[in-house]
Amino acid sequence: MLVLFRCPRCQQPNQATLQPQGGTIACAGCGLQIAYQAKDVAQGHLRRCLVCPSDDLYVRKDFPQKLGLWIVVLGFAASCVTWYFRQVIATFAILFGTAGLDLLLYLLFGNVLTCYRCHALYRGVRNLDRHGPFQLEVHERHRQIVAREQQAQQLTASQP
């Protein structure tokens, strides 16, 4: 199992391979050591995020979202050009081709487990069906928690 994460202390991107018997995740930048136990990664199933104290995880496609957005934008722009020149068949060919490419990429790419709070990505996790898809209300709850923590840190830093 592989984890991609940002260090909680220095925010540097890191990756680590998780061992089933437990161990530590180390930051290459600041040397922060995050310990985890074997019960946290039992039989390839992840019970909680190992980087932060959250147990809310969701499943999404392991595909760069920016690339997907660019495919849609370029397909839309190209179809607008052909529509302007009244090439209806070319317009629909571009639109259906873009949709077909999107479907093909959806089928080719696997899933990844993502933490709502720290956005750590876990690849190679088994039993992903135990975790649900993205839920906006859970995401918003974690976004508010992080915002409140940052606000509290700013208040304590500004007080003498």
Are residue 12 and residue 45 in the same domain, yes or no?
Answer: yes
Are residue 98 and residue 125 in the same domain, yes or no?
Answer: no
Rounded to 10 deg, the angle between the 65-84 and 88-108 helix axes is 170
pLDDT mean over 124-153: 92
Are residue 124 and residue 58 in the same domain, yes or no?
Answer: yes
Are residue 13 and residue 50 in the same domain, yes or no?
Answer: yes
Are residue 55 and residue 117 in the same domain, yes or no?
Answer: yes
pLDDT at 82: 97
- pTM of this structure: 0.83
Domain range for 49 is 2-62+110-158
Are residue 93 and residue 131 in the same domain, yes or no?
Answer: no
Are residue 11 and residue 50 in the same domain, yes or no?
Answer: yes
User: Using one digit for the tens of pLDDT, what is the confidence trace for 84-136?
Assistant: 999 999 999 999 999 999 899 989 999 999 999 999 999 988 888 889 999 99
Are residue 98 and residue 119 in the same domain, yes or no?
Answer: no
User: Using one digit for the tens of pLDDT, what is the confidence trace for 46-75?
Assistant: 889 999 889 999 999 999 889 989 999 999
Are residue 58 and residue 70 in the same domain, yes or no?
Answer: no
Domain count, the chain: 2
pLDDT at 42: 76
Are residue 51 and residue 130 in the same domain, yes or no?
Answer: yes
pLDDT at 87: 97
Are residue 40 and residue 114 in the same domain, yes or no?
Answer: yes
